[in-house]
Amino acid sequence: MKIMDHVELYKSEDYKELFENKKQFECPYSEEEVKKIEEYTKTEEYKEKNFARKALTINPAKACQPLGALLCALGFKDTLPFVQGSQGCVAYFRSHLSRHFKEPVPAVSTSMTEDAAVFGGLSNMIEGLENAYALYKPKMFAISTTCMTEVIGDDLNAFIKKAKQQGVIPKGIPTPYANTPSFTGSHINGYDVMLRGILNYMTTGLKASQTERINIIPGFDTYSGNYREIKRLLRLMDVPYILLADISDSLDAPNYGDYEMYSGGTPLGDVVDSINSTATVALQKYSTIKTGELIKEVWRQPFVNVPYPVGIKNTDLFLDVISQLSGKPIPDEIIEERGRVVDAMIDSYAYIHGKRFALIGDPDLLLGLISFILELGGIPVHIVCTNGDEDFEKEAYALLKTEPLFGSEGKVYIKKDMWHLRSLLFTEPVDLLIGNSYCKALWKDTGIPLIRVGFPIFDRHHMHRYPIIGYAGALNLLTLMVNTVLDELDRQTKDSPSFDVIR
């Protein structure tokens, strides 16, 4: 029996009839009326109305706080993410990450329902911790919350103490927690408060005694290749380090036939020892704000934010900071690698120079991409950041001003969504769009080629395995960008004399 893929299945007469019949319920308007409205949404008049809306968000480029907390928790060895909330919420977080990484994502839900909303979630917490410990034997629980828990005001600290008093979990097992309401902030905030919660819990009462190691915090980063690239560069520089919240093997482990829980992650002993490091370097400013406050004010440790090391300039700065903090020189092998990437940029410069870009994503990623596009002679035009704030807006404009020739057209839109971006793409078209898989709908509507960068990436495989940071990441991004341009050039010239083999 041949099992048909949906691509072919939906072409069959039965499905054509099914979809046609559904229209009377889903869209009781004629095709002419639908086409008329569609064309109106492409106008300047509609754009003004679109940007005037305040009570509605349409396809925001962000996820909710607990998803970020879950990703952070997966970066620690022998740790089970534990969510005080409904089953459906946790299924969403797990499926979102699983579809991006194409890997199983372990997490526990306390399965709160209507009765918990009325009477509180204590019994759910007690039973959930007891069952999870009996089944999965974690060495740490990383506990976060969902909307329901936050609205009814569950006291996580009291609930956890109760569970330990009743003996359902060992009294000595680490149980850091973070309040992560979905109705405020985004995934980068959830990542931040979970990381702060873990570091605070594991180091409370300890007195620092300085070692030679440097802490590195990647931030909310869903590229397993980025973590490996950081470790590779630090090994080449012979710099001792602790990589905090390392998800590289947790969500990109070798497959030997059997699934192994708790593969990879920062060892818990290293988490305890991180308070003794020489300094902490964070690669993402906006997903480490609360964590930075802990490290500076409580640990009394130098905390350095460097721009997300996308492109040549930002990677140079990252390596310079590491060299200064560690006293280790940057080896010739890395310098030669930099030179090869610069050479590649020169080779491809003519195809990127003058190209107009629209970008949508998280704050730190956008700042890195803006910097790299400017290095390539591209023109960032529309910069949309749903979870950006006024600080990000100022920083993005300051970055654009560093290259007046290419940055002068750039406009930054914070707290806007993909439907806002759609209006911009129709009223002020660009050559290339950079964003996650949800931007596929924008490509379908506008025809603007999409370069998939960010989170989530569902409809392409293995892209998270390739770094986008460091010099190797710059080469990967350059290859992705220029080949997208060339693919589009071939499509545009396939019926003309300019359909050339050599580009």
CA 479 to chain centre: 21
Q: Which two tokens stand for residue 119?
A: 């009477």
- Has 298 been annotated as catalytic? no
Tokens representing residue 21 in the block: 């019949």
Strands 379-385, 356-360: pairing kind: parallel
Q: What is the model's pLDDT at position 4?
A: 81
421 in Cβ contact with 448 (< 8 Å): no
Give CA separation, 357 vs 302, 309, 366, 382, 438, in Å: 37, 20, 12, 7, 17
Set 105, 147, 310, 485: catalytic member: 147
pLDDT of residue 2: 78
Quote the pTM value. 0.96
User: Is 89 assigned a catalytic role?
Assistant: no
pLDDT averages per 10-residue partition of the chain, 503 residues: 83 88 84 94 97 94 97 98 94 96 96 87 95 97 95 94 96 97 96 98 91 96 98 98 97 88 96 97 98 97 98 98 98 98 98 98 98 98 98 98 96 98 98 98 98 98 98 98 97 93 92
Q: Are 68 and 146 in contact (CB under 8 A)?
A: no
Predicted pLDDT of residue 28: 83
CA atoms of 150 and 128, how far apart (whole Å): 18
Q: What is the pLDDT of residue 26?
A: 84
Task: Give the pairing type, strands 303-305 and 279-282.
Answer: parallel
Within 8 A by CB and 6+ apart from 13, the residues are none
Both tokens of 407, joined, read 């940055």
d(CA 57, CA 75): 31
